[in-house]
Amino acid sequence: MAQPVKNIEKEFLMQEAIKQRSPITMRVGGGKWPVKLILIENNKFTILHDVPLAMLKKGTVGSFDFVLRDQEISFQSIIIEPGEKRLVLSIPEKMQKNSARRFSRLSPPKDLSVSFSLEGELYSLDFPTSSAYVTLKAPDPSPDFRASDLKELVSDFDKKALTIGNERSISMFKDKKPSSIEEELAASLGRCFYLPNAQSNIPVIDPFAERTILTREDFIQHFCSKGMEQSRAEHELEMLEQKKSLSGLVSELIVPIVFQKYSIGCARIANSDKTKASFDLGTVESFMSFSKIFAWSLKLHGYFKDAPRIAGSFRPQIIDISLGGMQFACNKDALIHAIKEGNPISLKISTQKRSINVAGIIRSSYYGSTEAYHGIEFSMMEPEDFRFLYESLYGRPLKDSDFDSVEGSRISPVLKP
């Protein structure tokens, strides 16, 4: 049965479609075509397409379908800006999903609540915030950088940087802001500014599995967010690339130093010596490792010891829940980027009758400007808790066959009675 999608979930599902590169079908003018969703901003979204331009008049309504994690999503949108290859449409007013899950997601019962707490301490710091979030833990040993002594670590950085370039610096944002558009974007997105060769311009794609470097699209989106038209934004980027090309640089790398949700500084390595090789992806990985070790070393040596802490248990807004998982929104500033995909999480699910403890894994996340939206897959639950939650949600006794599968994944250690 098709279910309406709540407003809070629409953009999340569309962002997930971009991230998962979900195949999308557009129906318009009696035909259907595959399209690619590439951008969502300002109540609009942009697709790449091969639809005949004659069918794409401003104001025309197109129908869209895609599948995301066993859910069939459908909606209609109005064409705002027709284009031969790109098409801009309005965010849909209504969206529907048809779940193929064995245990369907439901709105939470009125007496059900969920709470969780994060590992370690959360800090409130006077630094620029980042859309990235780094959970501080002891870094893996590195052959290049020593975390135990801060002075030796900085010395290691200097030594390593000067073997591949002739400029290096570490800037902290405690008493100053990022000094360039490259530093500003690296800090706000938690990604490296990587210019492998000043004559080849900023990379078009990020080759890393997890977003690590800034691409041309990141810069264009940033300029557009300042109110620039697309053509002006592209021109601004070309001017930046031209400035780099004329500067005499061979390669440049700016690495953000992220502590929890804060960009506390950045490290810059540059090379204008044409006798040295251009920076490769190994250089990015090496100095990203330095960034994490440096942040850990600062904490180890008391850099944040006087900063106020944020503590306590958090109660998210539950969007929907099933026996296999749940989706929730959270507008607590301390948590906006504190929960990342793949992270384990412990939850307490409470009703008037009893409370149960559940282990889960964050499977999806969408970060808005004022809230975060997450999907959790439950991974561990005691047998009696499994039975209680089932009967609380679905209002019927649990059968033996219901133990076999939950939304395509096992919950352990669930055992047949």
What CATH number should be reported for the domain holding residue 391?
2.40.10.220
The β-bridge relationship of strands 86-90 and 2-4 is unpaired
Tell me which of 257, 272, 300 is where a domain ends: 300
pLDDT of 76-87, one tens digit each?
Answer: 999 999 988 899
170 and 283 co-located in one domain: yes
217 and 81 co-located in one domain: no
134 and 266 co-located in one domain: yes
Write down the pLDDT at residue 333: 63
The CATH code of the domain that includes 57 is 2.30.110.10
Determine, yes or no, domain membership for 93.
Answer: yes
269 and 343 co-located in one domain: no
The CATH code of the domain that includes 216 is 3.30.450
170 and 251 co-located in one domain: yes
pLDDT of 278-336, one tens digit each?
Answer: 999 999 999 999 999 999 999 888 888 888 776 556 778 888 888 888 888 877 665 66
Q: Taking residues 351-367, what's their average pLDDT?
A: 83
Determine, yes or no, domain membership for 408.
Answer: no
Determine, yes or no, domain membership for 416.
Answer: no
Write down the pLDDT at residue 253: 96
173 and 278 co-located in one domain: yes
20 and 95 co-located in one domain: yes
Write down the pLDDT at residue 2: 57
Alpha-carbon Rg for the chain in angstroms: 24
Q: Tell me whether residue 76 is exposed, middle or buried, using C-beta atoms within 10 angstroms of its C-beta: 0 to 12, 13 to 18, 19 or more.
A: middle
Write down the pLDDT at residue 227: 82
Determine, yes or no, domain membership for 33.
Answer: yes
Which residues form the domain of 213?
129-300
330 and 252 co-located in one domain: no
pLDDT of 182-211, one tens digit each?
Answer: 999 999 999 999 999 988 889 999 998 888
Number of domains in the chain: 3
Closest CA to 50 of 85, 13, 23: 85
Determine, yes or no, domain membership for 396.
Answer: yes
Residue 320 near residue 327 (C-beta atoms within 8 A)? yes
270 and 145 co-located in one domain: yes
269 and 328 co-located in one domain: no
Q: Which pTM was predicted?
A: 0.61
- CA pair distance 404, 264, nearest whole angstrom: 48
Q: Taking residues 74-101, what's their average pLDDT?
A: 86
Determine, yes or no, domain membership for 56.
Answer: yes
Tell me which of 246, 271, 300 is where a domain ends: 300
395 and 289 co-located in one domain: no
166 and 87 co-located in one domain: no
Determine, yes or no, domain membership for 105.
Answer: no
